[in-house]
Structure formats: structure tokens, C-alpha cells
């Protein structure tokens, strides 16, 4: 397993701290130029395919949304050769047809965070600009949605995830504002994670 390419990475959100579906598991403690990731990377097979898993908030949920070492997490996955990242987030619905237990695969992000967390790998003399008009991979998103359907789940494709600061939830007034703006769900961690992965 250790010399096979790992192209799929899964980042678990609140409540998803391990993946019991992984077989042939090994744990890798890694270091990156941006420090240590949230936890050791779990490597194994998911349906026979090599995959890597990392719990975003650490084992036992020890990192607040603004404390997650996003750059280290993404960089560690890249060091393993990961090309596609599936980020699992607990989120709140802004639509009545998006019920608890439904899976939403958004296609847009509205970044409403106010802090200047590390949103980039660039800087300190290295300037680059990344296009994120379409922040998620359409092909991977479609595969995820199809997989949810095959597993018997209810899935909604498309829509905008508004990213709030956290760790607090939105006030009713804020949620009403986001709903009036046409957003579908709200979460706390899609940004900067999706932008760093891009």
C-alpha cells in the first residue's frame, strides 16, 4: 500500500473523525512547511481504491473552525499525491426542501468570514492569483452526488454555501439575510479549504 498512488483525499467534518469503511489502514504522521496537519493521515482502501483521510477538527474535535491548520491539511494531502479532495461539512439549511440528513453538493461559495486566516499558499515574495469562479470540480461533484443516490441517500446538486465565521451559529436575522440572498446552506469551513485545494 505504501508505494501505491493515492489520488483521493477525504477531509472529515464535525462528527466524522474516522472512516470505518477504510481497510488496510495505516497512519502517517506528517510535517509540512505550514506545520502539522490536524491529525495523522489515515491511509487505506475505500472500495478497493487507495484513499487518504484526515479529520479537519482533529481527533476528538480539538480545533475551532478558525484554528484548523487548513494549509497543513491540504499540503499534506498534496504530498501524498492526492488530486481530488472531498470535504465533508456539517451545515445548516437555508431552504425548507433541504432537510436534516440530506446531502448537499454545492457548486458555489460565498465567503462571509471576516478574519484573515491563511487563505493562500502564496506571499512573502511569491505572487500568484488563482481563478475560483467555479470553486468546486464539477466532475467530482457529480460523482459524489451519483454515489449518494446509489447509496439510497437524498442529494441536492448545486447551490451556494455561505461560509460564516464560527464557532458561533448565525443569528435569525443573519440567516434570514442569507436566505433572502438566495444562498442554500451555511457552513464554517468550506473557506479557505476549497480555495487552498484549488
State residue 8 phi and psi, 5-degree precision: -110, 130
Range of the domain at 24: 1-88
Cell of 192: 479557505
Q: Mean pLDDT for the chain?
A: 92
Last residue of some domain: 88, 113, 128? 88
Give the pLDDT mean for 6-16: 89
Does 197 share its domain with 146?
A: yes
Q: 160 and 111 in contact (C-beta within 8 Å)?
A: no
> For 67-89, how does the pLDDT look when each residue is reduced to its tens digit (9 = 90+)?
999 999 999 999 999 999 999 99
39 and 97 in a single domain? The answer is no
Average pLDDT rounded to a whole number, residues 16-25: 84
Total domains in the chain come to: 2
Buried/exposed 153-184: b ≥16 CB within 10 Å, e otherwise: eeebbebbbbbbebeeebeeeebeebbeeebb
Q: Is the pLDDT of residue 114 over 90?
A: no
User: 193: Cβ–Cβ under 8 A, 6 or more apart, which residues?
Assistant: 11, 56, 68, 70, 73, 74, 87
Of residues 117 and 179, more confidently modeled: 179
Are residues 98 and 187 part of one domain? Answer: yes
Q: What is the mean pLDDT of residues 30-53?
A: 95
Contact call for residues 85 and 131 (beta carbons, < 8 A): no
Q: What mean pLDDT is predicted for residues 92-113?
A: 95
pLDDT of residue 119: 83
> The CATH number of the domain where 153 resides is what?
3.40.50.1580
| 184 and 125 both lie in a single domain | yes
Does one domain contain both 1 and 42? yes
- At which of 57, 88, 119 does a domain end? 88
Amino acid at each position: 500500500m505504501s508505494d501505491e498512488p493515492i489520488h483521493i483525499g477525504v477531509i472529515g467534518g464535525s462528527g466524522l473523525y474516522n472512516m470505518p469503511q477504510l481497510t488496510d489502514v495505516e497512519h502517517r504522521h506528517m510535517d509540512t512547511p505550514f506545520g502539522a496537519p490536524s491529525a495523522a493521515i489515515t491511509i487505506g482502501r475505500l472500495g478497493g481504491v487507495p484513499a487518504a483521510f484526515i479529520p479537519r477538527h482533529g481527533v476528538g474535535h480539538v480545533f475551532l473552525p478558525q484554528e484548523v491548520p487548513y494549509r497543513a491539511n491540504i499540503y499534506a494531502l498534496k504530498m501524498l499525491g492526492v488530486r481530488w479532495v472531498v470535504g465533508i461539512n456539517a451545515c445548516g439549511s437555508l431552504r425548507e426542501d433541504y432537510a436534516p440528513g440530506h446531502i448537499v453538493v454545492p457548486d458555489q461559495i460565498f465567503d462571509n468570514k471576516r478574519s484573515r486566516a491563511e487563505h493562500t499558499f502564496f506571499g512573502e515574495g511569491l505572487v500568484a492569483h488563482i481563478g475560483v469562479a467555479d470553486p468546486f470540480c464539477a466532475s467530482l461533484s457529480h460523482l459524489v452526488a451519483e454515489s449518494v443516490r446509489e447509496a439510497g441517500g437524498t442529494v441536492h446538486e448545486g447551490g451556494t454555501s455561505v461560509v460564516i465565521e464560527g464557532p458561533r451559529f448565525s443569528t435569525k436575522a443573519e440567516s434570514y439575510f442569507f436566505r433572502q440572498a438566495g444562498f442554500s446552506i451555511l457552513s464554517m469551513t468550506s473557506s479557505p479549504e476549497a480555495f487552498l485545494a484549488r
